[in-house]
Chains A and B, each alone.
Chain A
């Protein structure tokens, strides 16, 4: 194979706005602020940007961002589908564009006002035609309901308990407590709080669900060659993958032969095939956590443990600092901010630069994943 993406590009700039339940700025303004912050971090002028990538659910088009920040002529742009499944693919598409000479400076971003905006599932006009005809009339209305269905089956099949889900929520909250930018900074969680909190979709309680956040993030991708001259230590994009398994059906993956082996498995096979190292060599992971059950499912999918072993993997502080696999070191979607997983990408970059608020000593490899349960994506970063 002639071309490879392996270490051909690097993330050289990251930027973010404040995270809060309500921010006064518009999504467009937040997007521009995050993009400009990432470019300033990289030491690259906005006029040099010639590639953009974001999510199909991003409200601000690249046309708007490009003209607002003063980008130059843009020769590559893409939008990735399936909500939070798109996060890592934005970096992947830009890496491919830069590595193949279609562009030289790429910016990926996500801006969202989920904290002050309407709940997306309330928009029944959009959701009712197929595939909603098979689920919505029965009151399977929200992502929490759809994932709760898989969670119950997972618990039944493998003996996973609410304590396992609590381990996930707790690890994320503990890291957020160390991160002044996190929405849950200085707001500790206890097992009692978790076990007595209100149910959202039984078996999922309040703390099994991600935050509702206003905020935006962005990162800058250039060639590995150019990255050496940038302001910060390059964080190389080592391997990238998207995953849409055979017979998959989006969030309600109930009609697959095996609904508990979701898109993570498909993305993982491709991701590891193109990497020089394996799951055992990952120093720290940022795993998409819109809901706590996505963590054990992803741990299995990405090969950190065997099928059905994801819940047990969370025991004994494995996900905490100093554990077998520290995860979501900024606090994740559960406790830092829920911006469709983009904070996980930037946190991965921080770890490999050595500047995380919960730094894993000498971290040199990081897995970042996008939403599990929907067509997904993942990247392996290395320093």
Chain B
């Protein structure tokens, strides 16, 4: 199952807001980082202006190991936006981070960073499977994707 590069390039790109921008800036450098409170140290996601635990407005971005487990997944079928329909059915997974299991990132399980969204055999999708982050460059933006730790 392959897809044209034109279709892949039409995938929706993240439109960061002020709070989320650092996540995407680190992603562009191949780093997976999560916002943390600079006062009490707690991690939070999605990013926001202040800490829900101690109300501090001081934050920092902490590097993650990039390892996690599949918490759940879906396989969307059409009707979908054209670039996604071209690869459907594909998978969307929710990854709970090894460093912070309460933080779950939506993403795609692929065979390699630049492989299509439908490149993994659906039989390999399993809740609890260990995954590792990779980054792919699409439309000038780096987005995290995930590969199985044991391919």
Q: Which of chain B's residues have a CB closer than 8 A to the CB of A131?
A: 46
Chain A residues closer than 8 Å to B17, beta-carbon distance: 129-130, 133
B13 within 8 A of A: yes
Query: Does A257 sit at the interface, judged by CB under 8 A?
Result: yes
Are A255 and B45 in contact, with the CB atoms below 8 A?
A: yes
Q: Is the CB of A122 within 8 A of B13?
A: no
Instruction: Judge if B54 is at the interface, Cβ distance under 8 Å.
Output: no
Give the CA-CA distance A178 to B13 in the complex, in Å.
47
Q: Is A148 an interface residue (CB 8 A)?
A: yes
**A134 engages B106 (CB within 8 Å):** yes
- The answer to whether A149 and B73 touch (CB under 8 A), given A134-B46, A139-B11, is yes
A53: shortest Cβ distance to chain B, in Å? 30
Partner of A149, one of B14, B80, B94, B143: B94
A200 within 8 A of B: yes
Given known pairs A122-B81, A200-B77, the reply for A138 and B107 (CB within 8 Å) is yes
Q: Tell me if B123 is interfacial: C-beta within 8 Å of chain A.
A: no
B92 near A138: Cβ-Cβ < 8 Å: yes
Chain B 21-64, CB within 8 Å of chain A: the 1/0 string? 00010000000000000000000011000001000000000000
Beta-carbon contacts of B90-122 to A below 8 Å, as 1s and 0s?
101010000000111111100000000100000
Are A257 and B94 in contact, with the CB atoms below 8 A? no
B74 interface residue (CB < 8 Å to A): yes
The yes or no answer to A135 lying at the interface (CB within 8 A) is yes
Residue pair A257, B105 in contact (C-beta under 8 Å)? no
| Residues of chain A lying within 8 A (CB to CB) of residue B89 | 199, 202
Which A residues fall within an 8 A CB radius of B?
Answer: 119, 122, 124, 128-142, 144-145, 148-150, 152-153, 156, 198-204, 247, 249, 252, 254-255, 257, 259
Q: Which residues of B approach A to under 8 Å, CB–CB?
A: 11-17, 19-20, 24, 45-46, 52, 71-77, 79-81, 84, 87, 89-90, 92, 94, 102-108, 117, 127, 143
Q: Can you name 28 A-B residue pairings with CB atoms under 8 Å?
A: A128-B12, A129-B17, A134-B14, A134-B105, A134-B106, A136-B14, A139-B76, A139-B84, A139-B92, A141-B84, A142-B76, A142-B80, A145-B92, A148-B76, A152-B72, A152-B74, A153-B72, A153-B94, A153-B127, A156-B72, A156-B127, A198-B77, A199-B75, A201-B74, A201-B77, A202-B77, A255-B46, A259-B104
